């Protein structure tokens, strides 16, 4: 990919470009915890975006997407927003940098990526982080990594119509090879934990389905969580989010709230604890416990939070049947991928069985992505 990008850059813009990269992400555990002020636990992966960039001495950006085989030129004022969706990510990053008082010298770029689009691996965050990091490195505006992640997030909000949280951009800006990052979504404190599963592979199985109720169901889940927290707060005024509560406090209000809200809250409180348990297990190198927690999360998402679906439960059950170490639905739910921690010796038979049995049951093939926890935003040598 680097060579292809460089060749095209030379053709279009000549020598002297510098290459930057950033990555997609996975979230090992900590699902539906972000808006409850809990932890998420993502890491950058070994697929991402690479961009070659050179300042061009104008106040315009000329960008060539190798994957779409398309060139777009745009200015840097608010009214210059390009019509191509992919170019809006780059434009948005420039604008958000400028809104923070940063300088953005016009530049030429050729870029490409290998994050599957819309599979839940956040190709868009990879794209934003690559450019946010590169623009900072080139213009030296003194914007720190955390603010670079915010630039990516606000690009999605203001220029791409996606009201996302900070996790994806955080992971692609802060990702480190062999480390996952536990982010406290209330305080934004973070900590790295070692993730070097020798003898295991991390593999995603993409169900390639997206069930439609997702956004209304998402809002209902949020309301349930807020309602449970509001009732607990009457007894314990110090709590801000559901993640501040423990199981006993939830039990105190069980008769006051709908059973559905109770189950949602039970899941969230359990999930916050599971992230902590997984972090402890990783410090001991205990990947069997990590895997068991992943199954517990899947159970919670499926039976308590009710955001799984037939396809994902099928893949999870198959993993359990085949003695895969850990497996759970990853992301908001109602479709997308399962993330699986699989012993090397089981890997081939597991993905063969998943392909075959999933296709026989649902009439289409799943997609398989192997991932390795890798570096996030960086300048390439």
Q: Which of residues 112-151 bind ligand ADP (CB under 6 A)?
A: 112-113, 115, 117-118, 120-124, 127
Residue 234: both structure tokens together = 């009457």
Active-site annotation holds for 370: no
Under rule CB under 5 A, residue 130 binds Mg ion: no
d(CA 329, CA 315): 9
Q: Which stretch binds Mg ion (CB under 5 A): 41-49, 116-124, 213-221, 253-261?
A: 116-124
| Residue 9 neighbours by CB under 8 Å, 6+ apart | 17, 52, 54, 108, 109, 110
- Total site size for Mg ion, rule CB under 5 A: 2
CB of 118 to Mg ion, least distance (A): 7
- Total site size for ligand ADP, rule CB under 6 A: 18
CB nearer to Mg ion: give 107 or 159. 159
CB nearer to ligand ADP: give 122 or 297. 122
d(CA 226, CA 222): 6
DSSP per-residue string spanning 116-137:
PTTSSS-HHHHHHHHHHHHHHH
CB nearer to ligand ADP: give 5 or 278. 5
- Rg of the chain over CA atoms, in angstroms? 22
Q: Which stretch binds ligand ADP (CB under 6 A): 109-117, 234-242, 316-324, 365-373?
A: 109-117
Which member of 34, 108, 168, 375 is catalytic? 168
CB nearer to ligand ADP: give 112 or 225. 112
Under rule CB under 5 A, residue 124 binds Mg ion: yes
Return the half-sphere exposure (C-beta side, CA atoms, 13 A cut-off) of residue 138: 25
Which residue carries 């930057």 as its tokens?
20
Question: How many helices and strands in the chain, by DSSP H and E?
Answer: 11, 13
The DSSP bridge pattern shows strands 367-371 and 42-55 to be: unpaired
Between 53 and 92, how does the x/- string for binding to ligand ADP read (CB under 6 A)? Answer: ------------x-xx----------------xx--x---
CB of 126 to Mg ion, least distance (A): 9
| Residue 219 neighbours by CB under 8 Å, 6+ apart | none
d(CA 242, CA 264): 10
What are the catalytic residues?
168
Query: Interface with ligand ADP by CB under 6 A: which residues?
Result: 49, 65, 67-68, 85-86, 89, 112-113, 115, 117-118, 120-124, 127
């Amino acid at each position: 990919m680097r060579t292809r990008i460089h060749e095209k850059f030379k053709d279009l813009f000549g020598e002297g470009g510098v290459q930057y990269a950033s990555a997609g992400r996975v979230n090992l555990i900590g699902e539906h915890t972000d808006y409850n002020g809990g932890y998420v636990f993502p890491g950058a992966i070994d697929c991402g975006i690479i961009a070659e960039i050179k300042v061009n001495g104008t106040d315009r950006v000329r960008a060539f997407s190798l994957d779409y085989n398309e060139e777009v030129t745009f200015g840097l004022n608010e009214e210059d927003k390009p019509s191509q969706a992919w170019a809006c990510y780059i434009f948005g990053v420039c604008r958000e940098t400028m809104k923070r008082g940063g300088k953005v010298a016009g530049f030429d770029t050729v870029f490409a990526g290998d994050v599957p689009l819309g599979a839940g691996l956040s190709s868009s965050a990879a794209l934003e982080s690559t450019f946010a990091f590169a623009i900072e490195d080139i213009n030296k505006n003194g914007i720190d990594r955390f603010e670079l992640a915010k630039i990516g997030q606000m690009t999605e909000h203001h220029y791409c119509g996606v009201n996302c949280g900070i996790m994806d951009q955080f992971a692609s800006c802060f990702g480190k090879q062999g480390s996952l990052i536990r982010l406290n979504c209330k305080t934004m404190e973070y900590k790295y934990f070692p993730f070097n599963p020798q003898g295991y592979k991390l593999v995603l199985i993409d169900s390639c389905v997206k069930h439609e109720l997702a956004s209304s169901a998402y809002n209902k889940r949020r309301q349930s969580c807020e309602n449970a927290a509001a009732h607990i707060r009457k007894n314990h005024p110090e709590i801000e989010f559901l993640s501040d509560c423990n199981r006993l406090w939830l039990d105190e209000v069980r008769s006051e709230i709908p059973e559905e809200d109770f189950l949602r809250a039970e899941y969230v409180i359990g999930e916050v604890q599971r992230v902590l348990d997984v972090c402890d297990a990783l410090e001991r190198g205990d990947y069997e416990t990590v895997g068991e927690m992943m199954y517990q999360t899947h159970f919670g998402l499926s039976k308590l939070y009710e955001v799984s679906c037939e396809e994902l439960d099928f893949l999870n059950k198959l993993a359990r049947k085949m003695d895969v170490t850990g497996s759970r639905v990853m992301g908001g739910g109602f479709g997308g991928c399962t993330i699986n921690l699989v012993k090397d010796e089981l890997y081939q038979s597991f993905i063969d069985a998943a392909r075959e049995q999933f296709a026989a049951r649902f009439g289409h093939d799943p997609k398989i992505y192997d991932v390795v926890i890798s570096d996030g935003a960086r300048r390439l040598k």
